[in-house]
Amino acid sequence: MRSIKLWIVLLVMLMAPPPVHAKKAMSDEQIKQAIIQESIDSYYGNCPCPYNTTSNGRSCGRRSAYSRPGGESPLCYASDVTKEMVRDFKARQ
């Protein structure tokens, strides 16, 4: 009886996933993409960036918020994301 219990305990231990000690760190490029996505997600409308499309499927191009002076300025490209933004994102994690 004792050996059966031992086998059951061993089986359960072998079937359990290994513990996760730490999240895998995101690369700076992955962080930039996450920051861009957050910026786009916070924009109300469907034309935050030139590469987005309107509701009828046309390219936003120069009609995008990114391309218009004044008003909202969503982040659309990796070059828009500063080192400070990446550092702040890492600090939030």
| Tens-digit pLDDT profile for residues 19-73 | 555 557 899 999 999 999 999 999 988 899 999 999 899 999 999 999 998 888 9
Asked whether residue 4 carries a pLDDT value surpassing 60, the answer given is no
d(Cα 59, Cα 49) in Å, to the nearest integer? 10
**Whole-prediction pTM value?**
0.71
Helix-strand-coil split of the chain, %, nearest 5 = 45, 0, 50
C-beta of residue 13 within 8 angstroms of C-beta of residue 5: no
How confident is residue 83, by pLDDT bands cut at 50, 70 and 90? Answer: very high
Amino acid at site 49 = C
List, in sequence order, every residue forming a beta bridge with 54; answer none if it has no partner.
none
